[in-house]
Amino acid sequence: MKSILDKTIKPFLIIAGLYTAIFGMNAFLPQFIVVNILKLPFVENYTIIVQHWGMMILLLGIFMIISAFRVSWRMPILIYSAIEKTFLIFLYILNISYPFSTGFLGAAVVDAIIVIYLLLYFWLAESELAWTFLFQTSNRNNQLDLFP
């Protein structure tokens, strides 16, 4: 299983980062994205918070892509990403009975896939780090490349 993650982590981070960054367009085109992508009515009073959210996820997506190539960035970015995406899923489930939740179904599904992958990555990373710590072995060929 570890070798599958080792082979897929870079493409995963690039694809997940691009997906995440796309919604960062909220920062620049809030009305267009809300109306045409999320299929929600645009409320002008919420423009600032929509743009702020857009900038946050734009940067998260960019940082996910960078972490595909800079291993030293990987764990903090992935932890933040997992928390942010889990919270979006939580909010979607919490509000599923409201009509506006349909605009977030696609994001919730894709974020759930990303979170499942990240949980698997964290689980394998934790077991490798624990093994190394407990038995004082450092076999870089058999260890997830978490830190440079």
Neighbours of 64 (CB within 10 A): 26
Residue 80's Cβ-side half-sphere holds a number of Cα atoms within 13 Å equal to 15
Neighbours of 1 (CB within 10 A): 8
- Overall residue count recorded for the chain in this entry: 148
Q: What is the pLDDT of residue 122?
A: 86
Question: In whole angstroms, what is the distance from residue 91 CA to residue 96 CA?
Answer: 8
Over residues 22-76, the pLDDT tens digits come to 989 999 999 999 999 888 899 999 999 999 999 999 999 999 999 999 988 888 9
| pTM of the predicted structure, to 2 decimals | 0.79
What does the mean pLDDT of the chain come to?
A: 87
Work out the pLDDT band at 3, boundaries 50, 70, 90. confident
